Amino acid sequence: MDFIYYYCINTIIINVMGDYILEYNEDVVFMEEGYDEYLIGICAVCYEEDAAYNFNDIVREKLGLELDSIINQSSITLSIQKILEEYPDISFIKFITNEEKNHISNYNTEMLVMDEYDESFIGIRYKHGCPIIAVYDRDMCIEQLIDRMEGTDKEKENDAIEYFNFNTTCAYSGEYTPAILTRFDNDNSY
């Protein structure tokens, strides 16, 4: 049997022959049945972990709206706020296009970004009672680090994972600290 382990801070996600088995921190809350297809991973800010769902898909499902086609997004703000209030312990990830990256301050002018992982920036996190923050893909960050490391492939991978876990995953810079998303659909899982 082929086991691939995905390590989040307190979460282990085991991929057994393409099926995901979650062993998660008992504090992680998931949405009710019927939304499993929108679950994209585990979102972590320092030591706090949440189930992460695709924001656009949830809004489309719950409100029957296409976000890309909405001219005035403020007209649905209250409906989105209700979704966040209904699921206060869930992170909703809105994926950002390359074109939108230049305008992320429109979401939150105080949002912190990690310049060293610019290529790994994938979107923003919405969570009830929390500011909107930047989200980075964990595997993409580690791949960027591997490219900068020296040594054999295995040494570079080990050093990159150790560096990332110690210096990035555990770093806390206040309420605007970026989130790290461990995605279930990544091919490379470190």
Residues in contact with 84: Cβ distance below 8 Å, sequence separation at least 6, in sequence order: 92, 126, 127, 128
Regarding predicted confidence, which is higher, 100 or 7? 100
pLDDT for residue 17 = 38
Listed range (59-68, 93-102, 179-188) with the worst mean pLDDT = 59-68
pLDDT for residue 98 = 79
Listed range (64-73, 142-151, 158-167) with the worst mean pLDDT = 64-73
The predicted model gives 74-83 an average pLDDT of 70
In angstroms, rounded to a whole number, what is the distance separating the alpha carbons of residues 57 and 73? 16
The per-residue pLDDT of the chain, averaged, comes to 79
Q: How confident is the model at residue 70 (pLDDT cuts 50, 70, 90)?
A: very low
* All structural domains of the chain with their residue ranges: 29-183
The one-letter code for the residue type at 121 is F
User: Is the pTM value of this prediction over 0.75?
Assistant: yes
In angstroms, rounded to a whole number, what is the distance separating the alpha carbons of residues 184 and 52? 10
Residue in the block written with tokens 């921190």: 25
Residue 34: both structure tokens together? 């019927």
pLDDT for residue 127 = 93
The predicted model gives 82-96 an average pLDDT of 90
pLDDT for residue 119 = 93
Binning the chain into helix, strand and coil, the percentages to the nearest 5 are: 35, 25, 35
In angstroms, rounded to a whole number, what is the distance separating the alpha carbons of residues 14 and 7? 9
Please spell the DSSP secondary structure of 131-190, one letter per residue: --EEEEEHHHHHHHHHHH--S-HHHHHHHHHHHHIIIIIT---STTPPEEEEETT-SS--
Residue in the block written with tokens 């206040």: 174
- pLDDT at 146 exceeding the cut of 90: yes
Strands across the sheet containing 12-16: 3-7, 12-16, 19-23
